[in-house]
Amino acid sequence: MDRTDIIIKAIAGLVGAIVSIFTGLFGLMFTVLLGMMAIDYITGITSAIVSGEGLSSTRGYRGLFKKVYTMLLIGAILMVEVSILKSNGVITDGVSSAFILIEFVSIIENGNKMGLKLGFLSKLVSTVRGKIPLLDDGEIVKQGKGE
């Protein structure tokens, strides 16, 4: 089973951790994540209005609760990292970077729901979500569940 999405998210996390190590800007990735979460929430509301789905308080609260959970999870990771591993936030920044990618993909999906033509960004979303066919020795191999 090919899980390209997991590989891409792992690479994003690794790159985020490396950036933190080399720049010394520990915690910056979490700050960026908070901004991306706000943008995702706003574009989600906008796409619901523009696409004609309409606003749903249940769906909105569910989205907010997921974002709050993500923040709490990253906070817990930071506490474990600092207290047990005696680290300075590199792992937390790596995890935050992976979540930044997830939020970015969601922002692009919101744009697609509004009818925006985002070209290569839509292909990126399909790759991260594992929905595009992959080439294997010149043959197209459909990637899906159970294959």
Tens digit of each residue's pLDDT (9 = 90 or more) over 16-70: 778 777 777 777 888 899 999 999 999 999 999 998 888 888 888 999 999 999 9
Our measurement of the distance from residue 75's CA atom to the centroid of its chain's CA atoms, rounded to an integer in Å, reads 17
Q: What share of the chain in percent tops pLDDT 70?
A: 82
Confidence of residue 145 (pLDDT cuts 50, 70, 90): very low
Contacts of 35 (CB under 8 A, 6+ apart): none
| Six token digits for residue 109 | 């999906």
- DSSP labels, 25-91: -TTHHHHHHHHHHHHHHHHHHHHHHHHT----HHHHHHHHHHHHHHHHHHHHHHHHHHHTS---SHH
Q: Partners of 140 in the beta sheet?
A: 135
Torsion sign, CA atoms 10, 12, 17, 18: positive
Q: What share of the chain in percent tops pLDDT 90?
A: 28
